[in-house]
Amino acid sequence: MPSRNSIDNILNHPCLFWRTHIMFSGHQMRVPNCVWATILVSFLALPFQGLAGDDGIFTSNSDLQGLLTTEAELVKGLQHYIQQEEQKILKLKQIAKSYEEIQIHAQDDKETYVGNPLNSYLLIKKMTSDWTDVKEMISANPGEDFLQNITTQKEVFKWPSDQDLNGAAVALVRLQSTYKLDTDDLAHGQLNGKSYGTKLSAHDCFELGRQSYNVGDHYHSILWMNQALKRLEEEENKTVDAGDVYEYLAFSAYVQGNIRRALRLTNKLLEVQPGHTRAMGNKVYYESTLQTENDAKFKRGEDGLGEFDDPEGVAIAEESDSPGQKTPEKTNYEKLCRGENELTEAYKAKLFCQYTTGQNPYLIYQPYKEEVVHLKPKIIIYHEVLGDNEINTIKTLSTPRFKRATVQNYKTGELETANYRISKTAWLKREEHNDIERIYQRVGDITGLNMDTSEELQVSNYGMGGHYEPHFDFARREEEHAFKSLGTGNRIATWLFYESDVDQGGATVFPQLGIGLWPKKGSAVFWYNLHRNGEGDEMTRHAACPVLAGTKWVSNFWLHERGQEFIRPCTTSPFE
Give the one residue of 468, 475, 563, 567 binding ligand AKG; rule: CB under 6 A. Answer: 468
Residue 508 binding ligand AKG, by CB under 6 A: yes
Binding mask 403-442 toward ligand AKG (x if CB under 6 A, else -) reads: ----------------------------------------
Is there a contact between 211 and 227 (Cβ–Cβ < 8 Å)?
A: no
Of the pair 208, 513, the CB lying nearest Fe ion is at 513
Residue 544 binding ligand AKG, by CB under 6 A: yes
Of the pair 279, 459, the CB lying nearest ligand AKG is at 459
**What whole-number distance in Å separates Cα of residue 562 and Cα of residue 489?**
6
Neighbour-count burial of 424, counting CB atoms closer than 10 A to its CB (0-12 exposed, 13-18 middle, 19+ buried): middle
Of the pair 531, 552, the CB lying nearest ligand AKG is at 552
Taking the complex as a whole, the smallest distance from the CB of residue 505 to ligand AKG amounts, in Å, to 11
Q: Which of 477, 488, 549 is nearest to 519 (CA)?
A: 549
Taking the complex as a whole, the smallest distance from the CB of residue 237 to Fe ion amounts, in Å, to 48
Q: Which does 369 bind (CB under 5 to 8 A by kind): Fe ion, ligand AKG, none?
A: none
Taking the complex as a whole, the smallest distance from the CB of residue 492 to Fe ion amounts, in Å, to 14
**What whole-number distance in Å separates Cα of residue 386 and Cα of residue 500?**
11
Size of the site for ligand AKG (CB under 6 A): 9
Taking the complex as a whole, the smallest distance from the CB of residue 542 to ligand AKG amounts, in Å, to 5
Give the one residue of 490, 504, 556, 564 binding ligand AKG; rule: CB under 6 A. Answer: 556
Q: Which of 351, 512, 489 is nearest to 13 (CA)?
A: 351
Instruction: Write out the H or E segment, with its range, that includes residue 460.
Output: strand 457-462
Of the pair 283, 467, the CB lying nearest ligand AKG is at 467
Of the pair 315, 507, the CB lying nearest ligand AKG is at 507
Region 452-511 residues binding Fe ion, contact defined as CB under 5 A: 473
Is there a contact between 353 and 372 (Cβ–Cβ < 8 Å)?
A: yes
The residue type of 574 is P
Residue 473 binding ligand AKG, by CB under 6 A: yes
Region 369-398 residues binding Fe ion, contact defined as CB under 5 A: none
Q: Which does 178 bind (CB under 5 to 8 A by kind): Fe ion, ligand AKG, none?
A: none
Of the pair 467, 568, the CB lying nearest ligand AKG is at 467
Taking the complex as a whole, the smallest distance from the CB of residue 525 to Fe ion amounts, in Å, to 10
Strand partners, 211: none
How many angstroms from the chain centroid is the CA of residue 95? Answer: 54
Taking the complex as a whole, the smallest distance from the CB of residue 498 to ligand AKG amounts, in Å, to 8
List all residues 6 or more positions away from 540 whose beta carbon is below 8 Å from its beta carbon: 377, 472, 473, 474, 494, 510, 512, 527, 528, 529
Taking the complex as a whole, the smallest distance from the CB of residue 468 to Fe ion amounts, in Å, to 7
Q: Which does 525 bind (CB under 5 to 8 A by kind): Fe ion, ligand AKG, none?
A: none
Q: Which does 440 bind (CB under 5 to 8 A by kind): Fe ion, ligand AKG, none?
A: none
Neighbour-count burial of 157, counting CB atoms closer than 10 A to its CB (0-12 exposed, 13-18 middle, 19+ buried): middle
The DSSP bridge pattern shows strands 17-20 and 353-356 to be parallel
Sign of CA dihedral 301, 307, 308, 312: positive
Q: Which does 554 bind (CB under 5 to 8 A by kind): Fe ion, ligand AKG, none?
A: ligand AKG
Taking the complex as a whole, the smallest distance from the CB of residue 546 to Fe ion amounts, in Å, to 15
Of the pair 200, 544, the CB lying nearest Fe ion is at 544
Of the pair 186, 380, the CB lying nearest ligand AKG is at 380
Of the pair 113, 440, the CB lying nearest ligand AKG is at 440
Region 237-296 residues binding Fe ion, contact defined as CB under 5 A: none
What dihedral do alpha carbons 332, 334, 340, 344 form, nearest 10°? 20
Taking the complex as a whole, the smallest distance from the CB of residue 463 to ligand AKG amounts, in Å, to 13
**What whole-number distance in Å separates Cα of residue 377 and Cα of residue 531?**
9
List all residues 6 or more positions away from 443 whose beta carbon is below 8 Å from its beta carbon: 449, 451, 454, 495, 524, 557
Taking the complex as a whole, the smallest distance from the CB of residue 371 to ligand AKG amounts, in Å, to 16
Beginning with the edge strand found earlier in the chain, give each strand of the sheet holding 524-528 in spatial order: 29-32, 17-20, 353-356, 368-374, 379-383, 524-528, 491-498, 552-560, 457-462, 421-422
User: Strand, coil or helix: what is 232?
Assistant: helix
Residues shown for the chain = 576
Is there a contact between 348 and 374 (Cβ–Cβ < 8 Å)?
A: no
Q: Which does 544 bind (CB under 5 to 8 A by kind): ligand AKG, Fe ion, none?
A: ligand AKG
Which residues contribute to the site for Fe ion (CB under 5 A)?
A: 473
Give the footprint of ligand AKG on this chain (CB under 6 A).
460, 468, 473, 496, 508, 542, 544, 554, 556
